[in-house]
Amino acid sequence: MSQVTYADVKNCDEINTYIRQADVSLKAMGYTEHSFAHVTRCAELAAGWLLELGGTEREAELARVAAYMHDIGNVINRYGHAQTGAGLAFRLLDKLGFDAEEIAVVITAIGNHDEETAHAVNAVAAVLILADKTDVRRSRVRNDDVAAFDIHDRVNYAVTKADTVLDVEERTLTLDLDVDTEICPVMDYFEIFLGRMILCRRAADFFNLKFRLVINGSKLM
């Protein structure tokens, strides 16, 4: 029996419907974009990093699957979405024919990606955390009225450049941001994202990496 693939997940109408509707709900609540642009970016980053860090092709495939589905629980509610998402993913992946051991890896990563309850409990969970929490960019802002921006909108909109670079030889993962301080002071970034950056540091520790945050050329972590 052939293994189920990331392509099978991406082409599943049922999964895509839930991702799409989850983002509709988040948009109604004023959240930044959490739809296909976000989850696809997370999938490719997570898989790429895992391969560079010595993971197998199949582990990278599971990282893509977990990252693509990690926010699906928002279709039920924003609160507890990591855990409800893991439950939904279990049902959907089982239905697609995934092996139980692989489902366990994926749902563990999904269930451990949100800040309040996140832990880098396996390699897939660790790269998912890193990919998800470093996705800060202007294009995620959906509010067209700059005057009505909340702090999340301002912080994301102020980021004019964002690069996340893995250096395996130096054992570092660096989030390098250019922030327009006329839109948002750097302290606002820390007010919103300090918890996420600490989580990234812990996830990087799983691979014996140092997580670095550089804003406007200054190393802050």
Reply yes or no on whether the pLDDT at 1 is more than 70: no
pLDDT of residue 152: 86
Q: How far is CA 75 from CA 14, 22, 65, 140, in A?
A: 12, 4, 18, 18
pLDDT value, residue 2: 62
The pTM is what? Answer: 0.95
44: which residues sit within 8 A by CB, 6+ positions away?
64
Neighbouring residues of 150: CB distance < 8 A, sequence distance ≥ 6:
30
Question: For residue 177, how many C-alpha atoms fall within 13 Å in the half-sphere facing its CB?
Answer: 28
For the stretch 188-197, pLDDT in tens is: 898 889 999 9
For residue 126, pLDDT beyond 90:
yes
Q: What band does 85 get if pLDDT is binned at 50, 70 and 90?
A: very high
171 three-class SS: coil
